[in-house]
Structure formats: structure tokens, C-alpha cells
């Protein structure tokens, strides 16, 4: 490569890397004193364990708060000790006595004895069985969300506490609904006729197979309800005159509305795609899971109320993200020390390659919706970083070995690369295949690890086999002492 | 290092692996993993206050210090502390949630509440503030996502199809055996050593072990392919492995050292939560080290020998048919 071409390429490459580093890593307050320029890394979604989903939403001192939300589902007739004590505070003595007689303490909770039978400090067997079914139901529902870090626990013996990552609170209320699934059809919910009932003589499964969520090509989220032949016929019959007088189909779980569909033409199909235009992925998924579990899941007679919604800070500790950045800093420094000591100025070729790899990864984690910065994805990135470093070091060593035999630098690089090209290619392809195919099957934490491992392995392969060689070529054009530039030495022979 | 020939002791290494994996599976079935990092059963002490009443951050810090003093004086060790904020009937609240082992007695719970009330009563700035305290019990429900377990297998099998095409079916089979072995070995080590892990993490550790195993086995595959290309006549299995073992072993050891260093870095320069997530990855590194440095080369000598034999017998049959045709 000529010196002019090399100078142009080097300048462009330097500007590109500087620009990428600027947008990816630098955050600062703007001169107006009120606004902040946030880097891509700051705006990248963070795992609930590390920080808020959007790093820009840190507190006044700039720390990531992170975490997620919890809510507690109390069965109807059960209240927390806090609610019991708060209620007592505003009562007269007479009201207090009546209230105290009405409620009995069971563990850390208070039970309304008008609604739930309590014997010897414990609820009756029916309540216990109903609660066990409800726990099974809620666990299955939250698991079906396939969200990282979701957690369901039995709280104070007879309440259910759920945890979801930040900003996914849309699931709390719909997933608390219990009862039979019914479909009503009419002009309003109160007067609508039940067209798919839950009777003793027939099950709702005679009408509905289940429900699931789908996202259209335009990004619209749908709840898809699959009907049986009987269900399809029931809906077709009810909506026969919809073209003349519009009505609404009410999909209910217990007394609560799971979905509503405005109908202005006859519906006669096996699967109904329903979107209200405001569905987020989580809200659509929650509605689908609610309907599906009401049809096919565990049954409970208990109704639940959602209270005590709290937001939690980073679960792994408030500075966990900061320490991960420090760990990366140590890794980066160690990498530079090795490359600069062993390969002198040739280390700049690796540095440029690595910075492109780093910025590319940050941009992908930011731009790809299902990726977030987490311990798993950070580990995938670190493993791929090692692969890139080893790959670059292998190419340098191959060229060093060729140079030692007396070849010119250009010939050494060419021969060195040709000797290890297919080996490095195979390693990268195999690992990328393993990562991507694991991603296709796996669920949350493992899938994001696998996908990022596959993606960064591809970046590593491109970096080692293409970009690093290009960087090497443009950097070497200037130096007359190419061996010293790379810290490569000729083999000493006895003749010399 | 060349003097050490692991294929001579294959039965010993297989026995070691079998013992570890079977013991691990038995423990996984009987006891599961040690999920104490997730605090599957815990007692939680909640200290909640209205942030519009206690709006000075130093008072919040003071409250936290009082709580910690009370726990210390009562011999209670806090497993974790999480800060929460919420809206309670319109009032904005903040809370400290302190997590303990589930065996905190009812008497101790009452004593902690009384001691804290006494401390707050003695503080001029906090004594009249409405601070709510309560003990809670929590039992986390287990996660069952069976699809996770098959995912790694699919990824590895697809990658090994490529290995089979590029390096031969024998190499792919050895790679498959090592990946499965390492995933199981890692899970077994976690179960036997009772290493505390988060409930969803073991599958991730197994996946890392399988990926690592695959990457390290490729070093042997590359060396064996280079040897095959460089030699005029077919090299028997034992000689081939003996020739490449020294240099492949060194490369594998260097890569393992780098991965172990990266894991240690991530685990040691970290908060307790990240440490609990990262350090058990060393079990995957141990499994990959054992398989890539010892078990893999040992198994492959026998696999390659079998495939070479098969290949030779196929060639003999083919030559026979050709002669018949000539006549």
C-alpha cells in the first residue's frame, strides 16, 4: 500500500474509531446546565440485577439504581399487618373492638373471619388447597413470561410476592386475575350474553384451545386466541349480524376483563388475532398467558388483590455495574501491556481492531431489543474478547516465525496469514454456530449469552482475519524498520 | 509433558468422570443445587418510612446504621440488604429490606423490633417519626424451564456437524462426548461441592463449559489435521496424538489460563452479587481443563483407531470389487 493511501486510510480509521468511542462511551453535562449528553453505553439496557433498564435514568449523583418491581398478591379477605395497624389507627374504640373481632392473626397476616374460616390459628383446608393451586397458577404464569430474573415467592405464608425486572410492571394486574374463562358478546359487558360459558356440563376447553402472543411484521403485538370447532361456530353465530349492528366480544377471567374486541363483521375463523393498538410486548404476552392459563392451567376459587408495589435498586449491589467496568478496565490494560511489550508498535493494529470490536458490540447490545448488559452477556463479551486477542496473537506469531526465516515483512504477513487463516476461520465458525443455534432454542439469560457469544465471535473472526490485517498494512507503510516496528527478529545463524 | 500419555490410563479417567458425574446426578436429584445465593427461604425485616416525613438522606442512613447495630448486638448476620421505594396509599415510601436465614426465632424477632424501637426513641430526630417495621417470611418457588436444558445440546450438535465435515466424524464424536461430559461434570462439581448458585445459573455454567470444551477440542482437531496434511503415509492414532499432544496441550493450557484469569477478574473485582454469579464459572473451567488436557486426547486415540480401522476395511472391499470388474 502506498504511503498516501495508507495515510488516508489511517486518518479515516482513526476518525471512525474516535467518533465511535465518543458516541459509545462519553457522557457529559451540556453547557446549558440542565441537559446531559448520554453515551450509547449509558442508554444501553441494563439487567435488573445490575441497574435500571435505561442507564440514563440514574439518580442525582449519577449512580445506576437498577433493580425491578415487586408486588404482593393478597387473597381476598387477607390483609397485611401494616394495613391492619393502619386501619386501626383511625377508628373509635367501638370500631376497633369490632374490627379486632373480625380479623384473626395467622402468622404475619390478618384474616377476615367473615370470609375465611380460621381454626387454631390456621385457615381451613379449602383455603389452603385453593392457595396452593393459586401459587402453582401464578408460578406457571410468570414463568411463561420468559423474562430474566422473574421470581415468585410465597410471602408471609398466605400471600404471593412477585418480582419482575424494571419497566415490566404491566404484567402485575392481569396475571393476578383468577376464575373461569368466559366469552360474552353484546353491546356492553353487563348485558352481554355469554356465548362460551364455563358450565358444569361442558368445559371452556370445548370452545377454546388456548392463547398466545405474536408480533406482526410491522411490530404490532397480537393476542391470538385459538378456538375449537364448537367455539368457532359459537362466535360465528353470535357475530352473524355484526355488519348491521356493531357489538363487542368480552373475554373475561372471573369478573375481570382480559380482552375486548369490537366486532363489526361476522367472525368465522379458527384463530382470532386481537390487538388494541396499545399492546406492548409484555402487556400482550400477559393477556395471552392469562387467557391460556385460565383455559388450561390450575384452577383456584380464591380472588387476589395486588398491593405493596415497590421498586428495588440493583439486586447485585448498587455499584455492581461500576465494578464490572473496572474489571473490564483491568482486562483492557493487561491486554495492552501484553501486546505492546511483545509486539511494540504493531500493538496499535490490534488496538484499533479491538476498539472497533468493542464499539460494535456496545452498539449491538444497545440496538438489539432483547439484549441487555448483564453478567451473562458481559461474560460472553469477555470470552469473545479473549478469542480476538488469541486470534490476533496467533497471526502475529505466524508472521514472526516467517520473518525469522529471512522473508520480507510483506511476504511474512502473507504467508503467516495463509498458514492460520482456515484454522482461525474454523474456530470462529464452530463457536458462532454453537452460540446462534443455542440462542434459537434457549430462553432469557442463556439466550442472550448465547446470541452475544455468537455475534461477538463473528466480530472477532472479522476482526482477526480482515480488519487486523488491514490495520497492519496501513500502519506498516510508514516505517522503514519494519522488523523493529513489530519487534520481529531474524534468526541468528552461525554464518552471521 | 510428552512422556505423559493419558490414553494409557483411559479407564482410570473414565472411572473418575463416571464417579463424579453419577455422584453429582444423585445429589442433583436428591438435594438439587445449593441455591442459597438466591435465598430461597428467608426471613426479611422491613423498615419502611414516609420519604416526605424523613426527607433528609442522612436520617435514612442513620436509620440503616441503627438497624445494623441492633442486628449485630443480637448476633444476627445480614445475608443481603435491598433498598426499595414505593407508593403506599398516595404517600411516597422508602424501605430497607434486610434478609436473614429462615431460622430467626420469634423471640429474637420481637427483641430486634423492641431494641430498634428503643434506639429510635432515644434519637431526637427520629423518635416521633412514623417508622413501620415488620418481619416477613419468604419462600421462593422453583423455576422449571425445561427448554433451557435442551438448548445447549442443539447448539453444540449443529457446531459439531461442521466439525465433522471439516475435521472428520471421529473428531466430531470426541467433541460431542467432551461437550456433554463437561456440561455434566460442571453441574456435578456444583452439586457435590455445594457451591452457592442462583437458581437459574447452573444451566448457564453448563453452557459455558460446553462452549469452552468445544473451543479447546478444536485446538487438537487443528493440530491433527495439520499432521495428516503434512505426512505422506497414514499415521496411526496413538502416534498422531503423541505427536500433537505436547503443542496442543500447551495451547489449551494457555487458553484455559486466560479464561480462568478473566473469570477471576470478573469475580474478584465485583460486588457480592456479581461474585456469586461469576466465581462458580471456575467449575466450568476445571471441567474444561480436565477434559481438554487429559480426557479428550485419551478418548480420541480410541475413537480415531476405530474410524481408521473402519476406513481401512472399506478400502479393501472397494479394491476387491475393482479386480472383479477387470476380469
Partners of B259 on chain A (C-beta within 8 Å) are 383, 386
In this prediction, residue A429 carries a pLDDT of: 94
Confidence of residue B222 (pLDDT cuts 50, 70, 90): very high
Q: May I ask the CATH class of domain B6-36+143-311?
A: mainly alpha
Confidence of residue A5 (pLDDT cuts 50, 70, 90): confident
pLDDT tens for A148-206 read 678 888 999 899 999 887 656 788 889 999 988 889 888 887 788 888 876 657 788 88
- Residues of chain B with pLDDT > 90, as a percent, come to 43
CB proximity under 8 Å: B 139-178 to A: 139-141, 143-145, 147-148, 150-152, 154-159, 162-163, 166-167
Between CA A80 and CA A345 the distance in angstroms is: 67
CATH 1.20.1640.10-classified regions of chain B: 6-36+143-311
Q: May I ask the CATH class of domain B41-138?
A: alpha beta
Rounded-to-10 torsion of CA B285, B288, B289, B293: -170
Partners of B98 on chain A (C-beta within 8 Å) are none
Between CA A157 and CA A107 the distance in angstroms is: 7
A430 CB within 8 Å of a chain B CB: yes
Cβ–Cβ of A446/B144 closer than 8 Å?
Answer: no
Average pLDDT over residues A112-135: 90
Among the partner-chain residues A85, A431, A438, the one whose CB lies closest to the CB of B207 is A438
Grid cell for residue A379: 461474560
Confidence of residue B142 (pLDDT cuts 50, 70, 90): low
User: If DSSP codes are grouped into helix, strand and coil, which group holds residue B129?
Assistant: coil
Q: Is the confidence at residue A496, as pLDDT, over 90? A: no
Between CA A211 and CA A428 the distance in angstroms is: 40
Between CA B83 and CA B81 the distance in angstroms is: 7
A107: left (phi over 0), alpha (psi -120 to 50) or beta: left
| Lowest-confidence region among A93-97, B33-37, B317-321 | B317-321
B259 CB within 8 Å of a chain A CB: yes
Average pLDDT over residues A382-398: 95
Q: Name the pairing type of β-strands A78-80 and B41-50.
A: unpaired
In this prediction, residue B257 carries a pLDDT of: 96
| Block residue for cell numbers 397458577 | A137
pLDDT tens for A406-425 read 888 889 999 999 999 999 99
In this prediction, residue B318 carries a pLDDT of: 57
CATH 3.30.70.260-classified regions of chain B: 41-138
Q: Is the confidence at residue B163, as pLDDT, over 70? A: yes
Average pLDDT over residues A476-480: 82
User: Structural domains in chain A?
Assistant: 3-30+318-486 (1.20.1640.10), 68-312 (no CATH)
In this prediction, residue A168 carries a pLDDT of: 63
Note whether ipTM > 0.85 here: no
pLDDT tens for B168-198 read 899 999 999 999 999 999 999 999 999 988 8
A91 CB within 8 Å of a chain B CB: no
Partners of B151 on chain A (C-beta within 8 Å) are 438, 441-443, 446-447, 450
In this prediction, residue A52 carries a pLDDT of: 45
Which residues make beta-bridge pairs with A151? Answer: A163
Number of residue pairs across A and B with CB atoms under 8 Å? Answer: 196
User: If DSSP codes are grouped into helix, strand and coil, which group holds residue A271?
Assistant: strand
Cβ–Cβ of B162/A433 closer than 8 Å?
Answer: yes
CB proximity under 8 Å: A 253-312 to B: 308-312
For residue B216, the chain A residue with the least C-alpha distance is A427
Amino acid at each position: 500500500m502506498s504511503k498516501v493511501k495508507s495515510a488516508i486510510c489511517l486518518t479515516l480509521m482513526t476518525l471512525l474509531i474516535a467518533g465511535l468511542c465518543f458516541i459509545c462511551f462519553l457522557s457529559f453535562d451540556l453547557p446549558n446546565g440542565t441537559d446531559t449528553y448520554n453515551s450509547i453505553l449509558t442508554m444501553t439496557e441494563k439487567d435488573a440485577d445490575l441497574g435500571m433498564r435505561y442507564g440514563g435514568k440514574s439518580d442525582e449523583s449519577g449512580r445506576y439504581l437498577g433493580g425491578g418491581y415487586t408486588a404482593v398478591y393478597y387473597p381476598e379477605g387477607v390483609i397485611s399487618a401494616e394495613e391492619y395497624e393502619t386501619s386501626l389507627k383511625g377508628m373509635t374504640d367501638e370500631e376497633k373492638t369490632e374490627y379486632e373481632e373480625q380479623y384473626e392473626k395467622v402468622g404475619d397476616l390478618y384474616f377476615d373471619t367473615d370470609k375465611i374460616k380460621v381454626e387454631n390459628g390456621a385457615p381451613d383446608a379449602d383455603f389452603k388447597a385453593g392457595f396452593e393451586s393459586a401459587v402453582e397458577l401464578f408460578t406457571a404464569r410468570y414463568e411463561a413470561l420468559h423474562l430474566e430474573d422473574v421470581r415468585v415467592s410465597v410471602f408471609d405464608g398466605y400471600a404471593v410476592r412477585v418480582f419482575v425486572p424494571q419497566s415490566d410492571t404491566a404484567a402485575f394486574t392481569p396475571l393476578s386475575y383468577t376464575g373461569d374463562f368466559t366469552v360474552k358478546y353484546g353491546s356492553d359487558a353487563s348485558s352481554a350474553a355469554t356465548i362460551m360459558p364455563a358450565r358444569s356440563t361442558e368445559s371452556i376447553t370445548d370452545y377454546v384451545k388456548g392463547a398466545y402472543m405474536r408480533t406482526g411484521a410491522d411490530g404490532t403485538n397480537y393476542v391470538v386466541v385459538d378456538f375449537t370447532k364448537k367455539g368457532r361456530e359459537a362466535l360465528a353465530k353470535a357475530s352473524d349480524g355484526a355488519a348491521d349492528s356493531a357489538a363487542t366480544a368480552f373475554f373475561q377471567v372471573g369478573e375481570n376483563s382480559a380482552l375486548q374486541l369490537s366486532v363489526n363483521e361476522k367472525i368465522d375463523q379458527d384463530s382470532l388475532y386481537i390487538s388494541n393498538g396499545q399492546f406492548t410486548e409484555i402487556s400482550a404476552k400477559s393477556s395471552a398467558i392469562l387467557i391460556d392459563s385460565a383455559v388450561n392451567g390450575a384452577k383456584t376459587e380464591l380472588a387476589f388483590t395486588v398491593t405493596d408495589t415497590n421498586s428495588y435498586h440493583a439486586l447485585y449491589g448498587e455499584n455492581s455495574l461500576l465494578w464490572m467496568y473496572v474489571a473490564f478496565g483491568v482486562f483492557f490494560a493487561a491486554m495492552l501491556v501484553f501486546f505492546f511489550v511483545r509486539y511494540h508498535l504493531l500493538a496499535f493494529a490490534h488496538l484499533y481492531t479491538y476498539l472497533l470490536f468493542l464499539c460494535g458490540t456496545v452498539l449491538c447490545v444497545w440496538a438489539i431489543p432483547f439484549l441487555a448488559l448483564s453478567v451473562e452477556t458481559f461474560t460472553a463479551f469477555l470470552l469473545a474478547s479473549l478469542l480476538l486477542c488469541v486470534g490476533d496473537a496467533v497471526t502475529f506469531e505466524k508472521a514472526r516465525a516467517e520473518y525469522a526465516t529471512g522473508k520480507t515483512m510483506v511476504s511474512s504477513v502473507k504467508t503467516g496469514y495463509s498458514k492460520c487463516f482456515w484454522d482461525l476461520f474454523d474456530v470462529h465458525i464452530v463457536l458462532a454456530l454453537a452460540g446462534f443455534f443455542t440462542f434459537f432454542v434457549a430462553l432469557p439469560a442463556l439466550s442472550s449469552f448465547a446470541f452475544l457469544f455468537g455475534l461477538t465471535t463473528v466480530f472477532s473472526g472479522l476482526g482477526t482475519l480482515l480488519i487486523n490485517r488491514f490495520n497492519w498494512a496501513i500502519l506498516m507503510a510508514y516505517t522503514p524498520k519494519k522488523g523493529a516496528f513489530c519487534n520481529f527478529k531474524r534468526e541468528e545463524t552461525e554464518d552471521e | 509433558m510428552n512422556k505423559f500419555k493419558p490414553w494409557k490410563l483411559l479407564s482410570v479417567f473414565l472411572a473418575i468422570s463416571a464417579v463424579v458425574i453419577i455422584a453429582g446426578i444423585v445429589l442433583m436429584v436428591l438435594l438439587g443445587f445449593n441455591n442459597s445465593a438466591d435465598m430461597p427461604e428467608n426471613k426479611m425485616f422491613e423498615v419502611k418510612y414516609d420519604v416526605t416525613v424523613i426527607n433528609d438522606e442522612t436520617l435514612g442512613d442513620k436509620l440503616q446504621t441503627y438497624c445494623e447495630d441492633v442486628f449485630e448486638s443480637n448476633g444476627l448476620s445480614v445475608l443481603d440488604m435491598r433498598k426499595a421505594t414505593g407508593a403506599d396509599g398516595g404517600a411516597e415510601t422508602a424501605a430497607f429490606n434486610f434478609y436473614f436465614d429462615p431460622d430467626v426465632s420469634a423471640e429474637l424477632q420481637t427483641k430486634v423490633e423492641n431494641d430498634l424501637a428503643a434506639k429510635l426513641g432515644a434519637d431526637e430526630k427520629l423518635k416521633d417519626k412514623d417508622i413501620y417495621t415488620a418481619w416477613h417470611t419468604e419462600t421462593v418457588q422453583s423455576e422449571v424451564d425445561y427448554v433451557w436444558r435442551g438448548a445447549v445440546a442443539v447448539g453444540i450438535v449443529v457446531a459439531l456437524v461442521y466439525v465433522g465435515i471439516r475435521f472428520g466424524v471421529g473428531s466430531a464424536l470426541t467433541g460431542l462426548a467432551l461437550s456433554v461430559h463437561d456440561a455434566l461434570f460442571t453441574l456435578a462439581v456444583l452439586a457435590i461441592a455445594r457451591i452457592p448458585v442462583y437458581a437459574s445459573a447452573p444451566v448457564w455454567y453448563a453452557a459455558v463449559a460446553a462452549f469452552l470444551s468445544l473451543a479447546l477440542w478444536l485446538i487438537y482437531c487443528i493440530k491433527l489435521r495439520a499432521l495428516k496434511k503434512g505426512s505422506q503415509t497414514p499415521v496411526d492414532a496413538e502416534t498422531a496424538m503423541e505427536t500433537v499432544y505436547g503443542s496442543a496441550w500447551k495451547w489449551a493450557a494457555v487458553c484455559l489460563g486466560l479464561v480462568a484469569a478473566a473469570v477471576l477478574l470478573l469475580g474478584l473485582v465485583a460486588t457480592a452479587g456479581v461474585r456469586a454469579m461469576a466465581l462458580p464459572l471456575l467449575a466450568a473451567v476445571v471441567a474444561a481443563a480436565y477434559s481438554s488436557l487429559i480426557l479428550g486426547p485419551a478418548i480420541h486415540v480410541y475413537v480415531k483407531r476405530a474410524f481408521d480401522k473402519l476406513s481401512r476395511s472399506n478400502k479393501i472391499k472397494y479394491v476387491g470389487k475393482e479386480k472383479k470388474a477387470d476380469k
